[in-house]
Amino acid sequence: MRLRNVTGSREIIAESRFVVHEPAAQKGKWSEVFGNNRPIHIEIGMGKGRFMMDLAAANPDINYIGIEKYSTVLLRAVQKMEVQELSNLRLVRMDAEEICEVFDKGEVARIYLNFSDPWPKDRHAKRRLPSRQFLARYHEILAADGRIEFKTDNVDLFDFALEEVVPAGWKIEAVTRDLHRDEKMLAGNIMTEYEEKFSSMGNPICKYIICR
Ligand code: SAM
């Protein structure tokens, strides 16, 4: 997702108290950012931030970090945080390729990937957020009992993601190709902006949860 450039978006982000501006400086010290030792859950490719905000509001005992590559998109989350401040949510503008420079070994308890960009060309497969190259990075930062939760309506991307799990050394804990009709996996589901859009168009939502 890329939005039209908004004049001053970088400046607004630079001044926001909800954004962690030098995330690599917090490596191994994220508990200090939140002022407590609660588990840290992150969403990579957060978009406009609705999912993170709803989760943070529902789970005050968990600390959340929403990661987004583009400032024009992050700006929307910053603006929402101005209206609904959440002490257990921080935002970071960065490329997920740098994730191991930002989190220490085992520092993250859960990773959410929602409606990740598909990068349909084969030569771009390693840019896909559920690729084995990214799973190797997530392995570094995720606690031993940590989980990755991935949702998408893109069947090709989901097939690819499932094929990556075992070769990358992970196990499928739960999987569905129609989340909204799967009573068990739907329990407690929080919709993302893309999930709302695509499910309202009738697209089934695929989801997996993986662990090691
Ligand atoms: N997760 C949101 C949702 O489900 O509504 C947004 C989905 S949108 C299709 C994917 C988002 O991931 C975009 O905002 C894009 O900028 C971001 N993104 C893609 N690649 C990224 C990367 N390497 N690092 C951080 N963010 C990334």
Atom of ligand 1 nearest to the CA of 194: 5
Find the radius of gyration of the CA atoms of the chain.
16
Q: Please choose from 2, 4, 51, 68 the residue to mutate so as to test ligand 1's pocket, defined by most ligand atoms within 8 A of CB.
A: 68
Sign of CA dihedral 48, 56, 35, 147: negative
Helices and strands, counts by H and E, the chain: 9, 7
Cβ 96 under 6 angstroms from ligand 1: yes
Measured CA distances, 28 to 23, 33, 81, 141 (Å) = 10, 11, 25, 10
pLDDT, position 9 = 80
pLDDT, position 10 = 84
If you measure from the C-alpha of residue 17 to the centroid of ligand 1, how many angstroms do you get, rounded to a whole number? 22
Q: What is the pLDDT of residues 177-211, one digit of tens each?
A: 999 999 999 999 999 999 999 999 999 999 999 99
Domain positions in the chain: 9-211
Give 107's Cβ-side CA count (13 Å radius).
Answer: 20
pLDDT, position 8 = 77
**Residue range 86-115: mean pLDDT, rounded:** 98
Whether residue 6 has pLDDT greater than 90? no
Cβ 74 under 6 angstroms from ligand 1: no
Whether residue 7 has pLDDT greater than 90? no
Cβ 157 under 6 angstroms from ligand 1: no
Q: Do residues 44 and 64 touch, judged by C-beta distance below 8 A?
A: no
Cβ 146 under 6 angstroms from ligand 1: no
Q: What is the pLDDT of residues 23-36, one digit of tens each?
A: 999 999 999 999 99
Spell out the CATH class of 9-211: alpha beta
Pairwise CA distance, residues 91 & 53, whole Å: 10
Measured CA distances, 104 to 9, 10, 74, 187 (Å) = 29, 27, 24, 31
Closest Cα to atom 13 of ligand 1: 1
pLDDT, position 72 = 94
